[in-house]
Structure formats: C-alpha cells, structure tokens
Amino acid sequence: MRLGFIGLGTMGRPMATRLLKAGFTLTVHNRTASKAHPLLEMGASWASSPAELAQTSDVVITILSDTPDVEAVLFGPKGIWEGIRPGSVLIEMSTIAPDAAVRFAQRLTERACEMLDAPVSGGERGAIEGTLAIMVGGREDVFHQCLPILRALGKTIVYTGPNGNGQKTKLVNQLICALNIVAVAEGIHLAERLGLDVETTLRAISQGAAASWMLANLAPKILQNDFTPGFKIALQQKDLRLVREAIQRTCGREAPENPDLGPTAFPGAELAFRLFSEALREGLGEMGTQGLIVLYRHRA
Ligand SMILES: NC(=O)c1ccc[n+]([C@@H]2O[C@H](COP(=O)([O-])OP(=O)(O)OC[C@H]3O[C@@H](n4cnc5c(N)ncnc54)[C@H](OP(=O)(O)O)[C@@H]3O)[C@@H](O)[C@H]2O)c1
C-alpha cells in the first residue's frame, strides 16, 4: 500500500516519521518544502504538489491547519482532487468543521474515493510516541481497511459513526481541553497572586482531585516560562471558533443570548473562546496554549 502524506507541521512531521519507521512506502508534500528534508533523508519520496502525490498514492493523509487550508489542498489548483485515482482513500486528520468534513467526503465519492475524518488528540508528544487518540468518522469498512495505518499513529482509535462524527467528537475533546487549560492557567495565576511558591503548590495539588493531563504537561512548562508551542494558542482559538459555530448551528436558538457569556447553554465555551481570542489579539497566537498565563499576567 502506497501512502501519501501532506502537512509536515508540529503534528504531521512526527506522524509521517512513524509511518516510515513502521515500514510504509511514503510520499510526502508540504507547502514549505524544507520541512520535508529529514523525511526524505529517511527514505520518503517527494511530490511537488498534492495532485502529483495523489496520483501515486493508494491512501492520502492530510493534517493541515484549518478548514479553508484543507479545502485549498483538496480542491484548489494542483490539489488532491486533480490527481486522486478511483478507489483511493483520504484520511483527513486536521481539526476542521464537521459539516465541511461531510461535504468533502461527499464530493470525493464523485471520484469513487472514500474519506475518513480522523482528527487526533495527544499533542506533539503523542504524535512522536504514537500514542494519539484518533476519533474516526466515515464508512466502517473503510475504517477497518485503514486500521493498520492508524495503529502506527495512535493508541486509542475509536470508530464514531458516519463522516463528520470524528470531527464532532474532536470538538467535544477541544472544549474540555480548553476549559482545562483555563483552569490550570487561572489556578497558577492565583497561586502567584497569593504569594505562594508555585512549585510547592503544584507538588501539593498535582496528585489530588485537581490532577489532569493539562496540569501534568503544561504546568511544568509554565514554571519554566517555556512557551514553545506543542499546540498553538492560534489553533486552540480556531477550535473554539469551530465549537461555537457548531453550538450556534445546532442549538443557538434554544438559549437566550446572555450579554456577558453569549448563549447560556454553553457558557464555558463562550468564556474560553473570549479568553483565547483576547490572547490572539495580544499577539500570543504562536505560543503554546500554556501561554494563556501571559494573558493573566498582562491583565494583573
Ligand atoms: N499541535 C497539536 O498539539 C495538535 C494536537 C491535535 C490536533 N492538532 C490539529 O492538527 C492540525 C495541525 O496542527 P499542527 O500543530 O501540526 O499545526 P502547524 O504546526 O501549524 O502545521 C500546519 C501544517 O499545515 C500546513 N498548511 C497550513 N495551511 C496551509 C495551506 N493553506 N496550504 C498548504 N499547507 C498548509 C503547514 O504548511 P507550512 O509548513 O508550509 O506552514 C503545516 O505543514 C490542526 O488542525 C490542529 O488543530 C494539533
């Protein structure tokens, strides 16, 4: 089976590396070509466009930033659509709007191709170690066909139903993650403002009921003032925008608008969206999500 991989960013590069190490024949493409060099040195082939990559691949994998980026790489000039052969499968692993995932999958059927929406969770470390959680929407037989590929990338791989359900599941994940990040940043900021030694505070609380993935992974970075991105604030804000759009589309009219917190059915989503949007406006978008603490410090 010949694989093609497009999008060699924070997540894509280690994921493509794992596929090569697992023995798959891999062709890669990235808008910024230089990011492919380490993979080419490991034995991957280069395609000069998504169309060229699709021509030589049985399965194409994409992990790009946002919905318009995926649409451009799929259907834009020299996009996957121009090269994809009947019977091929697209595994689309970016976090994008669920309705767009459904639309893309439907259009691909016109070429007798299938698509899985298969967004991931677990961060850069999960991508490096192959321990990602992967939530998959699409046809169940196609899911089973692609499992050997997904098993090289993730540990918890769950079939969630038809196209779009993978992305919907991911939005649930992202809302919970964002509120956890807010909790960790705000809690550490409270410790700072109360004059506590933050390291001692974290030692005291990190094995109790406040324990979480975010506390374990992001709090040590905050302590070091290390804001290098695993997951960028700009991408978290994008995911909260997608959560908000999904809420508005699905149940926007159920709850009256609250002047402080928007649709009252999901006040947490609104609060997190506002905080991450403010962080973006303050120029923190390229920081990892632990950089939300900087917003609190600016405000203090
Ligand atoms: N980082 C995480 O912890 C994490 C975890 C789970 C899910 N995700 C999701 O995974 C996706 C990728 O995240 P990431 O952290 O890897 O992002 P990233 O480091 O910013 O990488 C984005 C990739 O998409 C490419 N790209 C973006 N826009 C493009 C366009 N219009 N045309 C062609 N290529 C384009 C970039 O190409 P260039 O190299 O040329 O810029 C790069 O390869 C996002 O949807 C994100 O929400 C991320």
pLDDT > 70 in the chain, percent: 96
Q: Which residues contact 49 (CB under 8 A, 6 or more apart)?
A: 29, 78, 79, 83
Which residue's alpha carbon is at the smallest distance from atom 37 of ligand 1? Answer: 31
The CATH number of domain 2-162, selected from 3.40.50.720, 1.20.120.1200, 3.40.47.10, 3.40.630.10: 3.40.50.720
- Which residue, 127, 44, 54, 128, is CA-closest to 91? 54
Write down the domain spans for the chain: 2-162, 168-299
Q: Which CATH class is domain 168-299?
A: mainly alpha
Cβ 63 under 6 angstroms from ligand 1: yes
Q: How far apart are CA 2 and CA 249, in angstroms?
A: 39
For residue 125, the number of C-alpha atoms closer than 13 Å in the C-beta half-sphere is 4
Query: Are 104 and 71 in contact, with CB atoms under 8 Å apart?
Result: yes
Instruction: Answer whether 114's CB lies under 8 Å from 140's CB.
Output: no
Contacts of 200 (CB under 8 A, 6+ apart): none
Say whether 78 is catalytic: no
Q: What would the mean pLDDT of 188-201 be, rounded to a whole number?
A: 98
Residue type, 114: E
Instruction: Place 249 in a pLDDT band, splitting at 50, 70 and 90.
Output: confident
In whole angstroms, give the CA distance from residue 280 to residue 276: 6
Ligand 1 pocket residue status of 207, Cβ below 6 Å: no
Model confidence at 155, pLDDT cuts 50, 70, 90, reads very high
Q: In whole angstroms, how far apart are CA 152 and each of 22, 127, 134?
A: 7, 10, 11
CA–centroid distance, 8 to ligand 1, in Å, is 7
Ligand 1 atom, smallest distance to 32 CA: 40
pLDDT in tens, 39-87: 999 999 999 999 999 999 999 999 999 999 999 999 999 999 999 999 9
pLDDT band at 238 (very low <50, low <70, confident <90, very high): very high
Q: Is the CB of 8 under 6 A from ligand 1?
A: yes
Residue 250 is predicted with a pLDDT of 84
Which H helix or E strand runs over 215? helix 213-223
Phi, psi of 220 (to 5 degrees): -60, -35
Residue range 256-262: mean pLDDT, rounded:
57
Per DSSP, what are the bridge partners of residue 60? 4, 90
Say yes or no: CB of residue 217 within 6 Å of ligand 1: no
**What average pLDDT does the chain have?**
95
Which residue in 90, 180, 170, 172 sits closest to 132, CA to CA?
170
Q: Are strands 132-137 and 120-121 parallel, antiparallel or unpaired?
A: antiparallel
pLDDT for res 253: 56
Q: Find the DSSP H helices in 12-153.
A: 12-21, 37-41, 50-55, 67-75, 80-83, 98-109, 123-129, 140-151
Enter the pTM of the model. Answer: 0.94
